[in-house]
Structure formats: C-alpha cells, structure tokens
Structure 1
C-alpha cells in the first residue's frame, strides 16, 4: 500500500509539472471553490457581528439594561435580625442567581436600597399639612463613586457609634443632593427629626443630621437610567427630598427602631454592549429567560423588567432575513463550482484519455488509475485549502470596510473579521469537492481500455447518454414537480409548531439552483439543434471552414455547450 501511494505521488507530481497549464487552471478552480465557500461563512459571521453591534448600539438604556426589584413588607420578619437575614438572602440571590448568569456581559451593576417615606420635623418649613409637607425616603445607592458624584459641602455620612442607639448625641447622618438642600433650606450641620409617614401609629421620631451636600457629575449617565425619582424633585403635589446615607446606617440604626419598616431593593444591571458576540446570543437569551423564571418563582415580592431578550430575538429574526440572500448565493456557488470543476476536470481527463487507456492495457486496475487521480487531487487541494480561507478573510475584510463605510456605518467598519473553524471546514469541503470530482471523472474515463479508446477515436462522437435516452426531459419534469411543491409551501421562513421564532425553510434556497439547472439542460438540448440550423444557413453564404466548424460542433456539442452553460451560470 505504501509503495503504491509513493508511486502515485511521484506520477502525480510529474503530471502536474508536465501539464502545468491545465493543472494551474484546475488548482485555481479548487482555490476559488475553497475561498468562495470560506468567504460565505466569514461574511455571514461578519454580518451577524455587525448587525448585533448595530442593534445594541442603537438600543435605548431601557432595552439594553434591566432591573430586578424586591419589596419587603408586612410579611418580612419584624425583628432586626430577621430583616438583616432577609436582606442578606436577597443580596446572595441577586449575586448568585442573577448577576452570575450574565456577568461576562455586564459593564457595571447598581443597587438602590431605600425605605418607605418619612416625614420631617424640627423646622416650620417641614411641619406643614401632611398633604403638602416635604417628605422622602432614606436611601443607600451602591455605585456612588467619585466618578459619579461630587460632595460640594461637608462630607459623606458614616456611622459613628454602631452599637449605640440613635439619640440627639448620636444622630442619623445623611447627605442631601443640591436640589434637596435648597427645598429644605438645610445644609451641613443642620439637624431635624424624621418619622415614617405610614404603617405606624404614633411612630417615634429619630434625630437626623445633615453632614453633606452632593451633586451628580453627569445626570445623563446611563447608570441613572430608571432612577428618575431617586433624587429630589418637586411637582404640583409633592416635594420629595431623599436622605442619602450608608447601607450600614439603615441596617444597624434604622431597623432597630423600625423593624417592620417597608423597604425596596432594586438591582440595576448594565450591559457591556461590546462584549456580546453573535455566537453568544443564544446563551445570553437562555440566561435571561432563567433569570425571569427564577425571580418570579423563587424571590418573594419581586418584580423585574427585562427587555433585552426581546431586542435579541428581534435581532435574530432580522439577521435571518438578511442572511437569506447570502444563503441563496452560497447554494448557487456550490452548484456553479461543482459544474466548473466537473468541466475543468473533464478537459484534464480528456487530455489524458490516451494515457489512461495505456495504463489499463498494461494491467492497471480502475482503482489504481483512480488512486493516481486522488493523489493528484490531494496535491492540488492541500495548498488550496490552506490559502483559500486566508484569501477569503482578506477579501471579506476589504469588502466589509468598503460596504459599511459607503453605507454610513463607519463604526461598523471596525467589526473584527475572524477566521472561524466553520470557515476552514467549509473551505475544506470545497477542496474535497474538487478532489472528488477529479477522481470520479478519472474513474469514469478508466472504464475503457486501449481498444475502446481507439474505436472512439476512429468513429464519429456518439450522442450523449443523457440525450440518447431523453434523461434531460425526465430531469426537467422532476425539477418542475419539485419547484411546484416548494412554491406551494409559501415563504422562505416558517414557524415550527411549538416555537415562537422563525426558521429558514432550506428547500426554498434550492429554487434558483434548480432553475439554473433546468435552463442548463434546455441549453444542452437545444444548442446542437441551433448550431445545426446555423450550419445549414451558412452552406450557401459562408466559407467552408465556418460550415465544417458548425457541423462539427453540432455533432459533438458537449465541450462548447458546456462552456455556454458555464458562461450562463457565471452571469447568473
């Protein structure tokens, strides 16, 4: 076996060197097959990445980000230890069963922990009628970093004596935003009282001391999406001034005084719009669905708002629509490349018909002749498989920059073009296709020996097998029936039973290829007839070389007819 393989390799190398002209054309055909098939995958991936980046970059904060809220009410444990334990459980739930599922795609997280509304006392402006008096929640905001807020007066609150109860000498330290300080007319060092506005009968008032005034550095930062009512505001009905403090103050100073106080905890999750790749969309969708179900089923008094899954579903549907022309071209390319390779290998094998017949006459089996073609095909296909995907990546990268730039999507021209394993595999399929076509053509020609070869050279060419038995008419009828069945199904897209998404009906992608195949069969059937008519017309007015040439083509129309069909397919 090794000796036969070595001999096949030596003969294949000598064949390639001696007939380098046809071999070069065959190699270019294989290279084109590999490059075109690889480029289909690469461009499909580029299209998916560009569409995803566009969808995420154009998404509003409400579409790209999401939040989960937990309300602690009367069913919460009415003790300090119980409230702290419940709060810790919700924190662990949010970290382990929400954030952990989407952490690779998160740019940032925020947490807003707030109590129910408090009334204020201690100043005439604060002690108006309950309908109009200022009020506000006590809040903790995780993420109020120096990049997002600036303390313009005083300092940030802290807990001075964690174990001591609230008293005039140990007041609750809070900070106000600039508008809140103006509405209450208070600043650092001023003190007041506060008590719950509802759910308590004659509640105890706690001492509050303003220790700082701050402002947000960028109120339009996406971090503040969904937090429009988190800061001070005034309308025709209410004057709302939140009191900002630390998480420790609420847990260790507020809960001991009001253990049954209502609280809200809201987690905000901010998507890193550049971290999501097209191949990760399905996993991200599954994670979002799991979060929705888990929050609804296992987190009491909870709610959530997640619109990112809808955005990604729309992206997948639009991408599928955009990929239909690409898939159509891919199917056409496969058909045309197969035909082109068959034509080129047919010419190569025809030029070697005498050599093949001689090998058969000297005892070579059909399998041994086929092994020579296999070795030759592998020698040509190996560099094509290596160079084809690289060539495809360069072409796609260039076309991506040009098309996205002309389309006004300058930011999309920077979408990375990657050479995936799928591109290599499809390119490998193109190389294997070339090897199979070359080997099959050689095996078909190896059926005849030296006697049959000389008989064929001494006799006029026979009518092609497919025309002799009118198989092309049978194929045309079958193609027409198949096209009728496909068209009766309707659209390219179908919605399978039990699924809410659309899927591509791959059978519809065969329509252009089948139409071209049908036209090619008609051309091959009508071409010799048309040439024969032209030969008769040229007998009276044309030169003899033209008449003899047309007659020869009409009697042996395979090669020129195949070139006509190839030109037609390439134009299509």
Structure 2
C-alpha cells in the first residue's frame, strides 16, 4: 500500500510529464485500434455498394440463398420425414447468417402431371403438363387481378388454385375451369380449379426468385397447409422437390458477417447434399462470388494499412521513449540515491512498472473508443488533408480492436521501461559522473546506428525494386512473388538513418558558423551558438524526433498525392479521353436470327460493307470541346522483310483531332507526344510502332511494314517513329500470360501500330471506329447525356471516364490510403507539438537561474526572446529543414514501393512519384503554426521570470 501511495504522489508531482506519456500511449493504442475498425468499416461499405451495383446490373436481389432437394424413388413416409427434418434445420440456420432475415420461403413441388381439360375424351392425346406448388406466406406478397383467393381445403373434392394471367393464356382457359390431373402415381382422382389471377404486390419484391414470374407460367399455386396435408402427408400426388429460399437484408452485411455467411452456406450445402442417395440438389447464391472476393481484398487492405502506419508507429514509439527518458532524467538523482541506500533494481523498476501498467491499462480500455472516433474522421477523407461530406460508415468496435490495442499497450509499456532499466544500473557516484560528462557522444553515434539503418533500408529498397521489375516483366499478380512485410519498415529506417547521419555532421556546421563570424556576432548570437554547440547532445532527442515527424509528414503527403494521381492517370490513359462512344453503323450483314424456327439464316459474307454515319453531330454537341475518330483493330496482321510477321493492335487516327482530344501525360516519351503526331500528319504513309514490336521483330525507323487483317489485303507503310506508350496501349505482358520460370518475357508483350485513319480507310477498309470526346471542364455529365438524346445520336456503347474516376476515389484502397496518411500526419504533428512544447518548457524551467542572470546583467526581455528564437532556429528549425529534405528523398525512393498494393502489370503509365504545392503549403502551414504557438508560449513563460526569484534560487 505504501508503494502504491508513493507511486501516486510521484505521478502527481510529475503530472505534466505523466500526462504527456499517457497521451502518447493513448494515441498509440487508438491508432492501432483503428486498423481493424476501419478495415471492417470501409470494406463493409464497399461490399454493400458492390452488391447494390450487382442488383442494378443483373436485376437479381443479391441477398438471397436458394437450395433445393429433389426426390426420386423414396417412400412417402421417408419424404415427409426428410422435409420435416430439413424445415427445422433451415429454421435454425436462418439465425446463423449474421444478418437480418426478411423472408424464409418454403417451396414444395409435385411431379409434372398431365392436365386433362374438361370434356376431353382421349386423354392420351393431351400433351399439356403442369405442376402444383406451394409457397409459405404467399398471400402476403401478391395482389389479385381477377377472381378470388382459393380455399384452404378441398371444395367438393376440387383443389382451388391461383395462376398468373400468362398461365391462363398458355392453357387456353379461364377461371373456374376444372381440370383433372392424370398420372400413374396419383392416389385417386385429383381435380384442380383456378379461381384467382395474381401478380406481385410490389414490383421489386425479392420474395420472388424470378422477377418476371416466368417460372410460374405453367404452375398452379395451392395453399401451403393444404399442400402439406394432402400431398406431403396424404400422398395425393408425388412430391418431387422441396426448396428453401432465404431473403437476407444485405444492407446490414459487414466484413464481420462474411465468414458467418460463408460458413452457413457451406453448412446448408453439406446438410442438403448429405441427403443425396437417390435425391437431387440445386443451389443458387448470387452474392457468393462478390463476398468471396472481399476476403482477399480485406487481406490486401490490412497489408496496406500496416505498411502505411509503420512509420507513424515507429515515431510514436520514439516519442514514448523520449518522454520516458525525460521522466527518468528528472528522477535519476532519486533513483541513484535509492540504489545507493540498498534498494534492489527490481524494486525501482517495479515502481515504474506499476505506474506504466496503470497508464497502459487505462489507455487500453479507452483507446479503441477513441479509435472509433478517428475512424469516422478517416471516412470523410477524400485526399491528403482533404475532407468531404460522405454517408456515415458502419463503424463499431470489434474484438480485434481491443486485441490490437492490447498489443500496442504492451509495446508502449516496454518502451517506457527501457530508460528505467538503463537508469537503475547507475549508482549515485556514476550519476554525478554522467552529469559532469554531458557532452559525451551518444550511443547511436559510437555504434554507427545511422550508417547501419541507411545500409539496411537501401538494401531493402534494392531487393524490392528487383521484385517489382519481375512482377511487371513477367505479367504476374502481386501475390505471385512473396513480398516481405518488413519492406514497409524501410522508409522509417531510411528517415531515421538519414536524420541521424545529418545530425552527426551538424556540430561541424555549427563550429563553422561560429568560426566564420566570431569577430562580428552580437553577444546574443554568440551566447546562443555556444549554448547550442556545447550542449548539442541535449538536443539530440528533440531534433531526431522533429526530423522523424516532419519527414514522415512529407512522406505521407508524397505517398497520398502519388497514389491518387497515379490512379487517376491510369484511368485516363486506359480510356484515352473523357468519353469514348461507339455509334451505330449501317451494314450489309444479314440480321441475326433468334432460335425457335423461321427461315435459315443467310450466310455471313467474308467482307461486310459499312456506311459511315455523320461525324458532325458529335462536334456540335454543346459541351464538347473537341472530338476525334479513333479506329481500333485488335488483331491486325503485319509482315516485314525476312519472313517476319505477327499480330498487333492497329490504331488509326486523325493526328490533329486526336492530339486535341486524347489525354497523355508529359515526359513519358523521348520527345513530346505532339511531335510524334506531327510525323503522321506530314505523310499518311507513316506509322508509329511500339518499342515491343521493334525489339521483338528487329524493326527500326525507315523500315517498310505491311499491315492488314482478316479478309483485308495488306498495304505497305513506313516506320516513322518508335514509341513505348500510346493512349490505351499497355506494353506489359497480360497478367497470367507468362510463367515465373520463363526467362524471355518480352516475346509475349503486346505490340502496337499507329497510322493515319484516312489511309487505313482508303487503302484497307472502312470499318466502324470509336469517337473520342473531350468535354469542357465544368460541363455537367447529366447535361451531356441529355444533349446526346436531343441530337438523336444512336450509340451502342459509351465509356465515361469521369464516372470511372469517381468510382476509383471510392475504392477501399484509396479511401484507406487517404484516411490513414491524413490521420498519421495529424497524429505526427500533434505528438510533435506536445513533445516540442514539453521539451522546451522543461528546458526553460531548468535554465531559470541562467535566464535570470541574463536579465540581471542587462539583457532586455526582447533580446532574451530573440536568443530563444535563435536557439529554436538552430535546433528545431534545423531539424524541420532536415526533416523536409529527408522526407522528400524518402518519398522519391520508397513511395514507388506502394504500387505492390495494386497490380504492377496494369500500372500504365508507369508509377511516378508526384508532389503538389498545395500539399506542402498545408504541411508547412501546420508546422509553422506549431512553432509560432510554441514560441509564443515559451516567450510568455520568459516574461514571467522575476530576477530576484531567479537569483534567490541561485543562492539556495
């Protein structure tokens, strides 16, 4: 108890240091806790959105699960027993999907039997067949269009049924007509009478597996209870199959329910299939493919989140070590006295351990809840330090958040104890010796940890680049080569190593500055240079901390901007223009003949002749800035001298229109993109070929190449230029086209030929081309679609690049990227500000006597603040400058590694590190505000110093 009271008193005495330490632990636990929370939230939202898209495109409600069990030669008793058992089983499974169940529909079907209309004598000539079905809760989902609801018991020995209007038409009958069912397996005479025509009560009701009800157009629907009594238990007609149709509320599905859904689906299938001796089964789970893909996406997203958070976590660990070291430094004298008076090391460590465990326990309990709040902040990010209004993500705390938070708390606890363990090794004599040797070299300096960290990071960068090169050249997926997760620690190691290396050189820079102006420096600058130069080791922790914070901030800004812009560039390059349209071309090809009879289709001619539609309406659309004709032939053939031939993609363009309409990044080719287009404009015989074609076939500029395609005679062209990239062209081998064991990857790379459209149309053939459109920047997309309708332009397809860009911004990887990097930077700046302020406040308090003497000997408050500002400039300012430099270098070296989170073979144009001024304006504004605020607080503290109090402190 006495130990606990001593610990509480010690914490109260050092409340600011303890609060700062607790703040660091809490932020660390909260940040780590956001990983599973955010991963589940963002993937859950994207899963629901993808299921909604599936429903809109396929017209099928994705939240359904259908299973059917068919019978063959089972006895009536066995069928009834199996149906009863499976009904109970399905009722239990309804609660195991993990999401709300809207409906559980029980479906029963009889065998197909002959339908004998009234008055028919020769039933053998009747070829009409039908089945009886029953559905649970059927009456709640239909409306009567004619007639009445059937009775739930036989009426004069006749079973009343419901039908669709199409059923009456198919059987050429009307309501209240009595039919007799005929089959060898019927038990007695079975008669049915349609008494009502039904339709769906709600148009898009997911209760019906077939939205059009086409599967019910030869079916008679009978009351569920009557069916069970008369056909399942009474065996009036043989029951051939039973089905169970779950309608699930997929909008409530999250990543946490995916495993439950898959396991329940597996359990149902195993149970149904276990009944298969002479049974038949059928299953339908529309959403299963989409859900299964998300398991892989969640793994990739977790890998990305860890990789992005590693530098921030290292920085937080360094912060906790620094604050713990400050706490221990203030208590080293006390620790040394306790050790000298007989206290064991474990007793001293235990007192700090209890204090640390108390702080870590509170952080572990509260951290995940703060992490949940941070996750909501992440959901609003649209770019680095950019926020937009979005619909709220389904955020909730899960078990993994506490598990991850607990691991972070344990690591924080260890980081806190390291300085304590080191301090307990020193006696009171050793402590006084250390105070007399404050200018000794730090451990990292003597052990050359900066050189080691740089060497490891550069080696990791080298091996990673080689693996990326293999991924691209072999056309492999990112999972085909195993990537060491430690590769994502390399940026933090580089930042730490480079920062420490520059700090190793910094004292020499200070000496040079002092030596150059030693005869002219004013007293305040002279005193500051001496203070900083002689006490350089005191500033090491602060400077390294600021370097890591700023460098990680710059790295985060570069990574976010690079991945955002590269994603947009990839989409623009892949599409080629804002809109890509395909119009309707009249031709002499025979019309397609549908199945089901009619005259035999006419043979398709070898050459189809097309009539080109007018191009002017495209150019006259109000929102169109420019338009271009682009002819694409994917499997054009070419031949060269020496029996060299092959297949390439042929693109025909009008160079002037194409240059104004297409999108192409700068500095991607040896010369400007427009210079290559001018080559084609000068001579219609000229073509541009891809470098892949030139290397595979040994083609050079000036060579003649013959180009054509199936049923079209080839014509000669002259190679005017060799290009590596062209809008929509990917020179990398297709994914999966090459085995990792193959060495000659270039032989399978795609090839391209670009020529003049007019020559291709005149000398080869006139075939349909696409129209590329460039819209005015602020022209609404919806208005553009209306313009197309008003102009009556007939289109068969349209590719909307703007829509693709919007969809990409909502991709979970980019959302995670922007959110995590923004959060990491905000935390870095916040921690940096707290650490910066804490360090200087303690420093000023420790130099109260020195500052009081400065005032006493005649220095004004203004001069004292100037000295403080200069000291800040030579320490914090220099650290920030080094951080900016190191962060920029780290970004250019290590940001390309993040393309491993995508498919490197599809990253065309090549992945490129990008920066924008706005990112650095935000970064430097926040850092500048932090420094000015800190300087203001410190200046206020200086102004509060009383000379007589400082001198009295010196006398004491």
Aligned to 1:104: 96
Q: 1:264-296: per-residue Cα shift (whole Å, max 9, x none)?
A: 433322223255443332233233234334544
Confirm or deny that 1:217 pairs with 2:201.
Answer: yes
Q: 1:435-456: per-residue Cα shift (whole Å, max 9, x none)?
A: 4333321231232223233333
The answer (yes or no) to whether the contact 1:139–1:243 under 8 Å persists in 2 is yes
Deviation (angstroms), 1:190: 3.1
Aligned to 2:73: 76
Write the distance in 1 (CA, Å) between the matches of 2:351 and 2:234: 92
Counterpart secondary structure, 2:112: strand
Q: 1:174 aligns with which of 161, 164, 181?
A: 161
Matching of residues 185-204 of structure 1 within 5 Å: 186-195=173-182
Aligned to 2:6: 11
Question: Which segment is superposed worse, 329-338 or 244-253?
Answer: 244-253
Confirm or deny that 1:517 pairs with 2:496.
Answer: yes
Deviation (angstroms), 1:63: 3.8
Q: 1:141-197: per-residue Cα shift (whole Å, max 9, x none)?
A: 233133434474233144338xxxxxxx6334333334434665655543344446x
Write the distance in 2 (CA, Å) between the matches of 1:146 and 1:211: 18
RMSD: 4.2
Q: 1:144 aligns with which of 128, 138, 148?
A: 138
Deviation (angstroms), 1:59: 4.3
The answer (yes or no) to whether the contact 1:12–1:376 under 8 Å persists in 2 is yes
Aligned to 2:443: 465
Deviation (angstroms), 1:94: 5.7
Q: 1:38-65: per-residue Cα shift (whole Å, max 9, x none)?
A: 3334333433443444344444345432
Aligned to 1:358: 337
Write the distance in 2 (CA, Å) between the matches of 1:258 and 1:363: 94
Write the distance in 2 (CA, Å) between the matches of 1:276 and 1:144: 26
Aligned to 2:37: 42
Deviation (angstroms), 1:310: 1.9
Counterpart secondary structure, 2:139: coil
Counterpart secondary structure, 2:549: helix
Q: 1:244 aligns with which of 207, 221, 224?
A: 221
Confirm or deny that 1:303 pairs with 2:282.
Answer: yes
Q: 1:389-448: per-residue Cα shift (whole Å, max 9, x none)?
A: 3333334345546879976752xx162x33334433443444444443333212312322
Aligned to 2:423: 445
The answer (yes or no) to whether the contact 1:37–1:430 under 8 Å persists in 2 is yes
> Against the structure 1 CA distance between its residues 303 and 383, is the aligned structure 2 distance closer, same or farther, given a 3 Å change threshold?
closer
> Against the structure 1 CA distance between its residues 408 and 48, is the aligned structure 2 distance closer, same or farther, given a 3 Å change threshold?
same
Q: 1:116 aligns with which of 109, 112, 117?
A: 112
Deviation (angstroms), 1:337: 1.0
Confirm or deny that 1:23 pairs with 2:18.
Answer: yes
Counterpart secondary structure, 2:207: helix
Deviation (angstroms), 1:224: 0.9
Deviation (angstroms), 1:304: 1.7
Write the distance in 2 (CA, Å) between the matches of 1:371 and 1:247: 73
> Against the structure 1 CA distance between its residues 127 and 228, is the aligned structure 2 distance closer, same or farther, given a 3 Å change threshold?
farther
> Against the structure 1 CA distance between its residues 294 and 191, is the aligned structure 2 distance closer, same or farther, given a 3 Å change threshold?
closer
The answer (yes or no) to whether the contact 2:142–2:198 under 8 Å persists in 1 is no
The answer (yes or no) to whether the contact 1:187–1:213 under 8 Å persists in 2 is no
> Against the structure 1 CA distance between its residues 208 and 47, is the aligned structure 2 distance closer, same or farther, given a 3 Å change threshold?
closer
Write the distance in 1 (CA, Å) between the matches of 2:537 and 2:53: 56
> Against the structure 1 CA distance between its residues 369 and 41, is the aligned structure 2 distance closer, same or farther, given a 3 Å change threshold?
same
Counterpart secondary structure, 1:27: helix
Aligned to 1:436: 414
Deviation (angstroms), 1:358: 3.3
Q: 1:542-571: per-residue Cα shift (whole Å, max 9, x none)?
A: 335434544554454344233232223223
The answer (yes or no) to whether the contact 1:389–1:423 under 8 Å persists in 2 is yes
Aligned to 1:155: 149
Write the distance in 2 (CA, Å) between the matches of 1:108 and 1:89: 22
Q: 2:452 aligns with which of 474, 477, 484?
A: 474
Counterpart secondary structure, 1:156: coil
> Against the structure 1 CA distance between its residues 528 and 95, is the aligned structure 2 distance closer, same or farther, given a 3 Å change threshold?
farther
> Against the structure 1 CA distance between its residues 288 and 538, is the aligned structure 2 distance closer, same or farther, given a 3 Å change threshold?
farther
Matching of residues 480-519 of structure 1 within 5 Å: 480-482=458-460, 484=462, 506-519=485-498
Write the distance in 2 (CA, Å) between the matches of 1:154 and 1:557: 96
> Against the structure 1 CA distance between its residues 138 and 458, is the aligned structure 2 distance closer, same or farther, given a 3 Å change threshold?
closer
Unpaired runs of 5+ residues, structure 2, are: 553-956
> Against the structure 1 CA distance between its residues 308 and 559, is the aligned structure 2 distance closer, same or farther, given a 3 Å change threshold?
farther
Write the distance in 2 (CA, Å) between the matches of 1:277 and 1:399: 18
Write the distance in 2 (CA, Å) between the matches of 1:446 and 1:569: 29
Matching of residues 272-287 of structure 1 within 5 Å: 272-274=249-251, 276-287=253-264
> Against the structure 1 CA distance between its residues 273 and 12, is the aligned structure 2 distance closer, same or farther, given a 3 Å change threshold?
same
Deviation (angstroms), 1:302: 1.7
Aligned to 2:946: none
> Against the structure 1 CA distance between its residues 145 and 504, is the aligned structure 2 distance closer, same or farther, given a 3 Å change threshold?
farther
Write the distance in 2 (CA, Å) between the matches of 1:425 and 1:252: 54
Counterpart secondary structure, 2:441: coil
The answer (yes or no) to whether the contact 2:106–2:243 under 8 Å persists in 1 is yes
The answer (yes or no) to whether the contact 2:62–2:250 under 8 Å persists in 1 is no
Deviation (angstroms), 1:99: 5.6
The answer (yes or no) to whether the contact 1:527–1:561 under 8 Å persists in 2 is no
Aligned to 2:848: none
The answer (yes or no) to whether the contact 1:381–1:432 under 8 Å persists in 2 is yes
Unpaired runs of 5+ residues, structure 1, are: 162-168, 234-240, 497-501
> Against the structure 1 CA distance between its residues 313 and 364, is the aligned structure 2 distance closer, same or farther, given a 3 Å change threshold?
same
Deviation (angstroms), 1:377: 3.0
Deviation (angstroms), 1:67: 1.8
The answer (yes or no) to whether the contact 1:67–1:269 under 8 Å persists in 2 is yes
Deviation (angstroms), 1:88: 4.0
The answer (yes or no) to whether the contact 1:150–1:214 under 8 Å persists in 2 is yes
Q: 1:322 aligns with which of 301, 308, 322?
A: 301
Write the distance in 2 (CA, Å) between the matches of 1:309 and 1:231: 23
When normalised by structure 2's length, the TM-score is 0.49
The answer (yes or no) to whether the contact 1:320–1:504 under 8 Å persists in 2 is no
The answer (yes or no) to whether the contact 1:528–1:555 under 8 Å persists in 2 is no
Counterpart secondary structure, 1:461: coil
The answer (yes or no) to whether the contact 2:232–2:239 under 8 Å persists in 1 is no
Aligned to 2:248: 271
Deviation (angstroms), 1:222: 0.8
Counterpart secondary structure, 1:225: coil
Confirm or deny that 1:389 pairs with 2:368.
Answer: yes
Confirm or deny that 1:564 pairs with 2:543.
Answer: yes
Write the distance in 2 (CA, Å) between the matches of 1:183 and 1:346: 88
Question: Which segment is superposed worse, 541-550 or 334-343?
Answer: 541-550
The answer (yes or no) to whether the contact 1:493–1:504 under 8 Å persists in 2 is no
Counterpart secondary structure, 1:210: strand
Confirm or deny that 1:423 pairs with 2:417.
Answer: no
Q: Select the structure with the greater relative contact order (CA < 8 A; seq sep ≥ 6).
A: 1
Deviation (angstroms), 1:327: 1.8
Question: Which segment is superposed worse, 399-408 or 505-514?
Answer: 399-408
The answer (yes or no) to whether the contact 1:69–1:265 under 8 Å persists in 2 is yes
Write the distance in 1 (CA, Å) between the matches of 2:239 and 2:17: 85
Q: 1:66-108: per-residue Cα shift (whole Å, max 9, x none)?
A: 3223344xx424xxxx245325424533642x56445433432
The answer (yes or no) to whether the contact 1:483–1:511 under 8 Å persists in 2 is yes
Write the distance in 2 (CA, Å) between the matches of 1:251 and 1:369: 79
